[in-house]
Amino acid sequence: MSTALILPVEKTETTLGVLGGGQLGRMFVHAAQQMGYFTAVLDPDPASPAGRVSHHHIRCDYSDPAGLDELARLCSAVTTEFENVPAEAMARLAASRPVSPAAAAVAIAQDRAAEKAHFVRCGVPCAPHAVIESAAQLAAVPADLLPGILKTARLGYDGKGQVRVADAAALAAAWAELGQVTCVLEKMLPLAAECSVIVARGADGAMVNFPVQRNLHRAGILAVTEVYEGNLPADLAAQAVAAARSVATGLDYVGVLCVEFFVLQGDTLVVNEIAPRPHNSGHYTVDACDLSQFDLQVRAMTGLPLLAPRLHSPSIMLNLLGDLWYPDGAADASTPPWERVLGLPGAHLHLYGKLEAKRGRKMGHLTLTGSSPDEVRQAALQAAAILGLEPF
């Protein structure tokens, strides 16, 4: 039985829809509205960041038939802000409306085993790995894949659903700990850096990309993104762009896609995973580029021209988690010193409109821009010191 809260609203040919009401949906809504579109968000949370700023907010579960039909009635095209949207929801919408990315592409991103197989088909190097679905496959894991990282095939993100394993005994214990669900074991590789590439591809096959983004993760969550000329060797950056484009083409992808990579010691590159949506590492594009990743998301889903985005300023983005509201382990939340941060040159503060700060929760991001990498780095380090973030 449907539980959708549906308000009587008129259909508009210029309405764009998004499944998911988080910060990515909120920034998509802002970009679409800036270009003159009405927007509709489907998300069960009445206080969702995107729902609170959209013209229409359909408050229901992502699998609710009535809610999905209302989204289709309102909108001329639909996208998603997260990859774990139910496949049946996308299929239902796609029966009557253009949906980008397509359900088939999202399904691959939802399953690490399918994702790895896609990388192999595209000829893109990835870490040596094995799929574990049974006790027999567990026992047959080659010794040279250890030590490694055991990851659940589905529903893992921000470091969740992952266990480091040193040997066969630890592997067996970790598989049991994860519930003996389908997993992928990846060989531990000598990591030197991490990077990502965001591409946008249209239904006609036209494709553009942003510059390669150098990333730093802490506890499995993106902490810092640096984007400027020379942040990675030119040959590695070119390899990353070529690989990302190959992955998108192999998916016949439509929309914005982020491809994440590991840079290994010795300057070799392996692909880690994909995100079929705008990505945290691309938030800097709002302030440092002439077109943001959200602008290109709107353009790709509506068939508008995909122009190559231009990085006009070196930039560094700092991810802002809810821990900042609890300095030195405080029991009660307090507002971080934004006035000091905003006194720094080139500081652009983005808070996501979440009503409660929680430790580990993504509350916003801070992008620093400037005329040179050194200038931006100094400002970013000052901001990190003011907020009590680890230096980088």
Report yes or no on 3 lying in a domain: no
pLDDT at 7 exceeding the cut of 60: no
Structural domain includes residue 392 = no
Relative to beta strand 38-42, strand 56-58 is: parallel
For residues 176 and 204, state if they share a domain. no
Q: What is the mean pLDDT of the chain?
A: 94
Residues 312, 290 within the same domain: yes
Count of the separate structural domains present in the chain: 3
Per-residue pLDDT, 88: 87
**pLDDT per residue as tens digits for the range 172-209:** 999 999 999 999 999 999 999 999 999 999 999 999 99
Least confident of 114-118, 154-158, 295-299: 154-158
Q: Using CA atoms, how far apart are residues 115 and 124, in angstroms rounded to an integer? A: 11
Q: What is the CATH number of the domain that holds 57?
A: 3.40.50.20
Residue 326 lies in a domain: yes
Q: Are residues 154 and 211 in the same domain?
A: no
pLDDT at site 87: 81
Tell me the whole-structure pTM to 2 decimals. 0.93
Query: pLDDT value at position 161?
Result: 82
Q: Please report whether residue 10 resides in a domain.
A: no
- Same structural domain for residues 335 and 305? yes
Which DSSP symbol is given to 323?
G
Residue 60's pLDDT is what?
Answer: 97
H-helix segments, the chain:
23-34, 65-74, 87-94, 103-109, 112-122, 135-139, 168-177, 234-250, 285-288, 293-302, 338-341, 373-387
121 within domain boundaries = no
In CATH, what number is assigned to the domain containing residue 284? 3.30.470.20
Q: Are residues 182 and 269 in the same domain?
A: no
Q: Looking at 137, 156, 187, which one is the last position of a domain? A: 187
In tens, the pLDDT along 17-43 reads 999 999 999 999 999 999 999 999 999
> Domain ends where: 187, 214, 230?
187
Domain assignment of residue 152, yes or no: yes
Determine the Cα–Cα distance for residues 330 and 75; give it in Å rounded to an integer.
45
Burial class of residue 371 in the structure, from the number of CB atoms within 10 Å of its CB (0-12 exposed, 13-18 middle, 19+ buried): exposed
Q: Would you give the DSSP letter of residue 330? A: -
Q: Is the pLDDT of residue 160 over 90?
A: no
Angle between helical axes of 65-74 and 87-94 (0-180°, round to 10): 40
Task: Mark whether 196 and 153 lie in a shared domain.
Answer: no
Same domain, 195 and 64: no
Tokens coding 336: 């971080």
Q: Are residues 205 and 340 in the same domain?
A: yes
Strand partners, 183: 132, 152
Instruction: Calculate mean pLDDT across residues 107-134.
Output: 94
Domain identity same for 202 and 177: no
306-346 pLDDT tens trace? 999 999 999 999 999 999 999 988 999 999 999 999 999 99
Mind listing the pLDDT tens digit for each residue in 279-302? 999 999 999 999 999 999 999 999
Q: Is 178 in the same domain as 257?
A: no
168 and 235 belong to one structural domain: no
The reported pLDDT for the residue numbered 96 is 96
Give the residue numbers spanning the domain of 90: 15-99
In this structure, the answer to whether residues 142 and 219 fall within a common structural domain is: no
